[in-house]
A and B are shown apart, each in its own frame.
Chain A
Amino acid sequence: MKSRHILRDNILFGLGFALMIAALYMVFVYVPTEKETGIVQRIFYFHVPVAWVCFLAFFITFIFSILYLWKRATKWDAIAHASAEVGIIFATLVLITGPIWAKPVWGIWWTWDARLTTSLVLWLIYVAYLLVRSFATEPERGARFGAVVGIVGFIDVPVVFLTVNLWRTQHPTTMIFEGGLATPMLMTLLVCIIAFTVLYVLLTVQSANLKSMETEIKRLKSAQAEQEDIDLWRT
């Protein structure tokens, strides 16, 4: 399992590293400081890609949950699980960097608008996903239950967003996200999005490998136990 993918892994790692360096350069050297909010605005260039990757991660979990329930290939469950794990990490980062950006710019840490609230609910749903898996009585059940939560939870996300959006438009907010980005800003954002997507792939592949290793260990252990039983029976 290790030697087959070493070339692919190395290419991916090299690409990711190069992209991150490029992203850092663009964020801190290339792109001009935004006029209104100043230097803090640069958080935006990592905050948005992290949020995007988080959503991508949960989408992958959704797809592979369906695939797992259909075909029952443990490799697919490993990907679904790994993606949710990486997704939660990125979701946590979104919920931390968001308020850090908001405090100097808007003066408050938090507001219950559609995006923030949906991010929080999303975080809670996938924490539930990971908890269900860890509290399951057997690994197979954990995979199955996880898949169910991964599917049901993902479907909930747009519903939550639309509902909270509607709820909030009744209370006019002062937080208006200015649309329209100047070209250098757009370029920087794009590079960062690509860099973080590659990072996501790297982390998820690695995490999925680890989960497959754990499954392999369990298989070996039970095969060993069987062998011991056979030996005992023979003697």
Chain B
Amino acid sequence: MENLGYLLAAYTIIWAVVFGYVLFMQRKQRRLQRQINLLKESMQKQNSPTLPNP
């Protein structure tokens, strides 16, 4: 069981990096989706603006 530390280190790093990337992408997706929704809302408001006061 010698060198177990190296084996553990290698596998931990692989999983940490891959999961880290997955988390990063998830957060980015949420942020981008929010932006898209906001933009779509504001564009709808633009296209049907409230009438100005006479």
Contacts and interface: CB of A to CB of B under 8 A. Distances in A.
Direct contact of A and B (CB under 8 A): yes
Contact of B36 (A38, A213, A231): A213
B10 A224 contact: no
Contact of B6 (A103, A203, A209, A224): A103
Contacts, number: 83
Given A39-B7, A50-B14, A224 B46 contact: yes
Given A210-B28, A217-B35, A224-B43, A93 B2 contact: no
Contacts of B4: 39
B37 to A, nearest CB: 10
A154 B35 CA distance: 35
B51 interface: no
Interface string A92-105: 11001100110110
B54 to A, nearest CB: 15
A26 B28 CA distance: 34
Interface residues of A, number: 35
B3 to A, nearest CB: 4
Contacts of B9: 100
Interface residues of B, number: 29
A227 interface: yes
A50 B13 CA distance: 12
Interface in A91-123: 92-93, 96-97, 100-101, 103-104
B39 A100 contact: no
Nearest to A221: B39
Contacts of B47: 227
A27 B17 CA distance: 19
A216 interface: yes
B43 A223 contact: yes
B42 interface: yes
18 contacts: A40-B7, A42-B7, A43-B7, A43-B11, A100-B9, A100-B13, A101-B6, A104-B2, A199-B18, A203-B22, A203-B25, A207-B25, A213-B32, A216-B36, A217-B32, A217-B35, A220-B36, A221-B39
- 8 shortest A-B CB distances, which residue pairs? A40-B3, A104-B3, A220-B39, A213-B32, A43-B10, A100-B10, A97-B10, A104-B6
Interface of B: 1-4, 6-7, 9-11, 13-14, 17-18, 21-22, 25, 28-29, 32-33, 35-36, 39-40, 42-43, 46-47, 49
